[in-house]
Amino acid sequence: MKKKIAYLGTGTWAVALASLLAERNTVIMWGRNEEMISHLKEHKSHPKLPGFCLPDSVTYTTDFEEAVKDAQIIVESVSSSGIRPVFQKLKDVRKTFCPIVITSKGIEQNTGLLLFEVVSEIIGEENKKFIGCLSGPSHAEEVIKRLPTSIVSAAFDKEIALLIKTIFSNEKVRIYPNLDINGVCFGGAMKNIIAIACGISDGLGFGDNTKAAIMTRGLHEIRKLSASKNAQPETLNGLSGLGDLCVTCLSTHSRNYRFGNLIAEGLSPQEAKNVIGMVVEGMYSCVSALQLGKKHNIPVPITEVIHGILYEGKNPQDAVKLLLSREIKEEHL
């Protein structure tokens, strides 16, 4: 039986996932940008995903209440900074809740909360059983072409994790349930910071050896800091950790990697962000991750270097040299 799914967000990832959901359900996409909603209504495609049309079972609206009314499942793909106001709006218009799927990846600044924790705080501890997430190595450009993809669903409640698996899976998309929602979401947030570092490294011409070192030490940094969020370290060796790190650091589809490349070319962070034309989550999350590291006295050298480049005006060449001049200690995994 078809379900009514409310999709909050209209970015490329939202369009890719909505197209999956619409194979067996009716989907109503909500966005606050009237120009984007008009474009989707007219063309049934996203301007950054040319050549692909969404099915007729997807409709579009700027009316939030219309989107979420009677929805049996709510899925979000908004920015880290936008998730709190969006779910406050949801709480204001709905008195009862249904399964909620978080697909955005990030850590809220100043609070250090993962995005599912933000939602839980807003809708109440008694309703957190409805919250799940979807994360892992998955570019919208490939999912929408139905190229083989494996990702992870996580939730507080096993039934919600299995529901997410069921509604998003098809013959090309494999979804593995995992009840470590902290680890799944933390890996997805942190990998964006490391991808920016890899983009800068490649842009400066440092080569594959350097990038491999950044990725490996980046994973170590993620694992260390994950203790502050009670994540299971082994989760970060899987699809939502190492898998997502690889796809984000190695692909030109990655906006965080491309953003780093543009920084290396001499663009300012704002100029690079304007060229990308979409949210660069690593730019937001590196502030949150550095705050977490300082709060828990956990060194995060790669994150610190990226923060210095993006927010303190440090020269990328000098920042990388500083990173490489750190004292060498025995490798611990």
Known catalytic residues are 191
Q: Are 34 and 4 in contact (CB under 8 A)?
A: no
* Residues 181 and 156: beta-carbon distance below 8 Å: yes
Enumerate the β-bridge partners of residue 114: 107
Name the strand (E) or helix (H) holding 133.
Answer: strand 131-135
Q: What is the dihedral of CA 320, 191, 83, 37, to 10 degrees?
A: 100
Residue 101 pairs in a beta bridge with: 75, 132
Distance set, CA 278 to CA 79, 259, 265 (Å): 10, 10, 19
- Vertex 236, ends 233 and 237: CA angle to 5°? 100
With vertex at residue 152, the alpha carbon angle to CA 149 and CA 157, rounded to the nearest 5 degrees, is 150
Hey, what amino acid is at 32?
A: R
Q: Which of 295, 297, 309 minimizes the C-alpha distance to 113? A: 295
Of 113, 300, 139, the residue nearest 217 (C-alpha): 300
Terminal-residue alpha carbon distance, the chain: 47
- Strand, helix or coil at 61? strand
Whole-number Å distance between alpha carbons of 117 and 168:
23
Helix (H) or strand (E) holding 140: helix 140-143
C-alpha distances (whole Å) from 295 to each of 21, 34, 99, 289 are 40, 40, 33, 10
